[in-house]
Structure 1
């Protein structure tokens, strides 16, 4: 029995649509940095929106309130850095000069006294610390430079500032743009969805700022109490790295141990133990009432979002994965209820 041949007719319009989608996806990844900057700007504008709406109740127009808030934020930021920069630069300079030489004493401490019973670990530890010693002196300035490029790079900083300023000034600009291409029966739903997404992402940024500030201050206070040198630098780094989910606290812990161990391995262990306790206190008492309430996502969803973000967009993916997941969560919840 002969098999019947089936002919699949693909129209020119279908081919055109497929090619258009492929080109748009390729363009999206080509300009990913700009897209990420735009999304981060939307998050910042959403975080400022409650304050702007509150000022509007007192007849203060956005043409006045938006420049005032941005100037106030920049003034506060420059004021804080102006107050701590002399001490911070001094600590960073001394740290980058002294730390490599002092790490050799850490290896010796591991090989004697109370650590003599673990002598079989010394060859591996020696190789680890020697390699660490040779690279850390250059790694610390590179890390500071890396963090500066990410959070204060000229192009990214200008893009985010200009975009967020414009979005704050132009009330409901994104919402109106989406409504312009939305069929009339769905306009009310899209308007409500966009506003809920903006609230979620804005609350995320507010929560991140609170958590990072609390952790940075707590680390500085605890390390100062323990007598760890460079407490100001380590506290600032701990606060900045708190922005990076999961990976950031681990990096902060490694830096903290490496630095404190130059004074004493025992002090390094105590400092790391104190940092772990601070992390647990924050996770148990602060995060549920701040972050979980802000974004409405469970820890597993947050972890998966971060992993997907890393795979798709590297560092930028880590930064925007959670607010993007929080925004999309509103849409998925609506679809779940509908079905």
Structure 2
């Protein structure tokens, strides 16, 4: 039995790698499809994320006898209201703070140079290796500042391109909210009874995985951002709203997101007043403790059931391969793949003899 099973597994792997090889040598056939998917990736992903945040409200309204298209209209009105508030109240403040931060970068660089020069002048014995390193860093501070400024400008350009694609998101979102619940029954009608049941179970697992992550991460990140803004406002940290919004975005990245959001806040606090660094760290520790002990356990729970070491490994790999977008999407993508593999493995187990359900 073991030999037969091993042979079947070997043949399956050979066929799988053969299929991958055939796809690689005929990649030109799939280029138009790849271009199409690339063009619609941003609207679909953006609409999908908003769908999982707003769909519970549409479902709740539907239970209250509100037609689904009416619930969709209410969701769009709420979204428009949030955008109007953001544009009229939040956006001008963020723009002003961000402009001031960019304008202050040369002053920060000059202060750093003076600090390093003062430190060098007050040192009697400096190892030659350390002195060379300090000299190299000091000489390159201007280029570092220019690199950072260029990166920020390029990032702004990418954000504008990203925002341009967002104009299509409302159209995708409208039909997702209005007709999304019809997708599974539509596909199931073309399948046999057993396969239709399996397909419904698979889509339910994927839907639960994505909704748990997106809804939970959205609420957690928003709560952390609000707590950080309140803390920054109390300690009178410069650019508090901009730094809090940056923290909201970074907190969508598990584990390393809070550390990434801490870097600019600590730097700004240091240049504002060195003692401010202590207060910034204190605010962050309090916010993370509240999030880790009260908010996340009650909202996220163990919905994805992914080991922390796996999360860290995935984030490191995704960051090296796909950059910031990879950091954002690797965890839900992995969770979906895990759900799909687990589903088909359980389906395979059901077809095996009762006394030998395992692969090996």
**Is the TM value for this pair above 0.5?**
yes
2:266 aligned with 1:254: no
Deviation at 1:204, TM superposition (A): 1.7
Deviation at 1:64, TM superposition (A): 0.8
Deviation at 1:210, TM superposition (A): 1.2
Deviation at 1:127, TM superposition (A): 4.1
* Contact 1:66–1:169, Cα closer than 8 Å, also in 2: yes
- Give 1:60's aligned residue: 66
- Give 1:242's aligned residue: 251
* Cα distance in 2 between the residues matched to 1:283 and 1:333: 29
* Cα distance in 1 between the residues matched to 2:288 and 2:51: 29
* Cα distance in 2 between the residues matched to 1:142 and 1:148: 10
Q: How does 1:283-322 map to 2 (within 5 A)?
A: 283-307=292-316, 309-310=318-319, 313-322=322-331
Q: How does 1:126-137 map to 2 (within 5 A)?
A: 126-127=138-139, 129-137=141-149
Q: Deviations over 1:196-235 (max 9, x none)?
A: 3112212222112212212222222222233321111111
TM-score normalised over the length of structure 2: 0.74
Deviation at 1:311, TM superposition (A): 5.8
* Cα distance in 2 between the residues matched to 1:116 and 1:223: 35
Q: How does 1:1-339 map to 2 (within 5 A)?
A: 18=22, 22=27, 26-27=31-32, 29-30=34-35, 31-35=37-41, 37-110=43-116, 112=118, 120=130, 122-123=134-135, 125-127=137-139, 129-150=141-162, 153-155=163-165, 157-246=166-255, 248-268=257-277, 270-272=279-281, 274-275=283-284, 278-279=287-288, 281-307=290-316, 309-310=318-319, 313-337=322-346, 338=349, 339=358
* Contact 1:241–1:252, Cα closer than 8 Å, also in 2: yes
* Cα distance in 1 between the residues matched to 2:306 and 2:294: 17
Please, which moves more after superposition, 121-130 or 42-51?
A: 121-130
Deviation at 1:98, TM superposition (A): 2.1
Q: Deviations over 1:159-215 (max 9, x none)?
A: 333212211110423323442453332111211221231122122221122122122
* Contact 2:52–2:215, Cα closer than 8 Å, also in 1: no
Please, which moves more after superposition, 251-260 or 261-270?
A: 261-270
* Contact 1:96–1:138, Cα closer than 8 Å, also in 2: no
* Contact 1:216–1:239, Cα closer than 8 Å, also in 2: yes
TM-score normalised over the length of structure 1: 0.78
Distance change >3 Å, CA 143–CA 216, structure 1 → 2 = farther
Distance change >3 Å, CA 19–CA 302, structure 1 → 2 = closer
Structure 1 runs not aligned, ≥5 long: 1-13
Deviation at 1:142, TM superposition (A): 4.4
* Cα distance in 2 between the residues matched to 1:308 and 1:29: 22
* Cα distance in 1 between the residues matched to 2:146 and 2:48: 42
Please, which moves more after superposition, 294-303 or 20-29?
A: 20-29
* Cα distance in 1 between the residues matched to 2:267 and 2:214: 30
**How many correspondences in the alignment?**
322
Deviation at 1:261, TM superposition (A): 2.6
* Contact 2:224–2:248, Cα closer than 8 Å, also in 1: yes
